Amino acid sequence: MTKRHLTKQQRRRIQQNQAKARAEVNAQQDDDSYLSPSNLGPEQDGRVITSYGTQVDVEPEFPPEQNSRGESTRRCHLRANLPTIVTGDRVTWQDGDTHGVVIAQHPRKSELCRPDSRGKLRPVAANIDRIVIVIAPFPEPHANLIDRYLVASEHQSIQPAVVLNKADLIDDTNYDQLTGLLDRYISLGYDCFLVSAHSGEGMEKLEGYLEELTSVFVGQSGVGKSSLLNTLSPDIDTAVGALSVSKTKGTHTTTSSQLFHLSNGGDVIDSPGIREFGLWHLDPAAIAEGFIEFRPFIGQCKFRDCQHQQEPGCAFNQAVMDGKISKFRFDSYWHMVNSLDQGS
Ligand SMILES: Nc1nc2c(ncn2[C@@H]2O[C@H](COP(=O)(O)OP(=O)(O)OP(=O)(O)O)[C@@H](O)[C@H]2O)c(=O)[nH]1
Ligand SMILES: [Mg+2]
Ligand SMILES: [Zn+2]
């Protein structure tokens, strides 16, 4: 490497940057001073109800009044050096005059992660028992997005379910396509529900399924995740968006994941809608493991390094021919594998 001499201008810029960094550290220290333990209450356990990035809403584990769980929520700052805190996290925190401070994160039982735009895997919800994939006649479901969520659920050992909402919009024009789609997942053994947040159809059964557990509602924007929550609990009044042109431009009504309590003891995390769910962190073999019906055929191909394309003796291709793996799902697998190269 050649040694470089700095110009006067470069040296001045470096000095300016260093001064700026020092000022920021000082400001940070000033900012932290009011977080000193003397101003804060005792350490207590709590659960993160909403995460805004640098701040979170925490609900005490033992709220003063047992019946007003949601009302005792406190806005908290995060002590420096904490790992990413997400909705559903259990934490140790201290209350203060104007706001509380989260001082520790408890180990997670489970987490739903997805890669960000740079491919780094980030948690989006923690301590969940079920991932409820919501689809609807409109916006039209993408089977590949459902499969991506299923692969992610299988990898994180969280039980998934598929909910087809807006049953009231099913008519002769889309009946075959939608029931065919749902049947595909029913035949794989996944829990599936046909519901309508508007008419109430199927909602009782769905509510029973969510009892006593923590679930996260995921899926495209506009499928009615927040509407389902509003119908599930009359106490919940979360924002529901009009299905308009803006949806196609990627405007989401729900912008941060939020945890709600149902009267039957179930907790549901409403999450912002997404268009894509990258799986760049997985390799083709790991993706194949996420397709539950592929599992009996893994390691059964004639060649150990079989790519499951057109090789002779490929157990996957044979299973497709025998009807043991559906063509739709095999195509979906290939779609995911091919997208790994493109980083999407
Ligand atoms: N016909 C019909 N419309 C519904 C139903 N459920 C929700 N909608 C409508 O679908 C639109 C979107 O609903 P939201 O609940 O905001 O959808 P979301 O999935 O939470 O969307 P994001 O927060 O953007 O991810 C609204 O106009 C709802 O009124 C239903 O069961 N039937
Ligand atoms: Mg929403
Ligand atoms: Zn093969």
H/E element, 142: none
User: Highest-confidence range of 232-241, 245-254, 299-308, 334-343, by mean pLDDT?
Assistant: 299-308
Pick the ligand that lies closest to the CA of residue 319: 3
Distance 292 CA to ligand 2 centre (A): 29
Residue at 149: amino acid letter: Y
Distance 316 CA to ligand 1 centre (A): 38
pLDDT confidence tier of residue 72, bands split at 50, 70 and 90: confident
Q: Which residue minimizes the CA distance to atom 7 of ligand 1?
A: 224
Distance 271 CA to ligand 2 centre (A): 7
- Report the C-alpha gap between 195 and 204 in whole angstroms: 9
- Report the C-alpha gap between 272 and 221 in whole angstroms: 7
H/E element, 145: helix 143-155
pLDDT digit string (tens) for 21-50? Answer: 555 544 554 455 445 545 789 999 999 999
Q: Please report the pLDDT score of residue 113 as a whole number.
A: 87
Residues in contact with ligand 1 (CB, 6 Å cut-off): 165-166, 168-169, 196-198, 221-227, 240-243, 252-254, 272-273
- Does 97 score more than 80 pLDDT? yes
Q: Please report the pLDDT score of residue 38 as a whole number.
A: 56
Domains of the chain: 1-107 (2.40.50.140), 125-270 (3.40.50.300), 284-342 (1.10.40.50)
For ligand 1, pick from 165, 230, 240 the residue to mutate: most ligand atoms within 8 Å of CB: 240
- Report the C-alpha gap between 116 and 70 in whole angstroms: 30
Q: Please report the pLDDT score of residue 110 as a whole number.
A: 95
For ligand 1, pick from 227, 236, 257, 258 the residue to mutate: most ligand atoms within 8 Å of CB: 227
Q: Please report the pLDDT score of residue 15 as a whole number.
A: 63
Q: Which residue minimizes the CA distance to atom 2 of ligand 1?
A: 166
- Does residue 222 contact residue 243 with C-beta atoms inside 8 Å? yes
Q: Which residue minimizes the CA distance to atom 10 of ligand 1?
A: 224
- Does 134 score more than 70 pLDDT? yes
pTM: 0.85
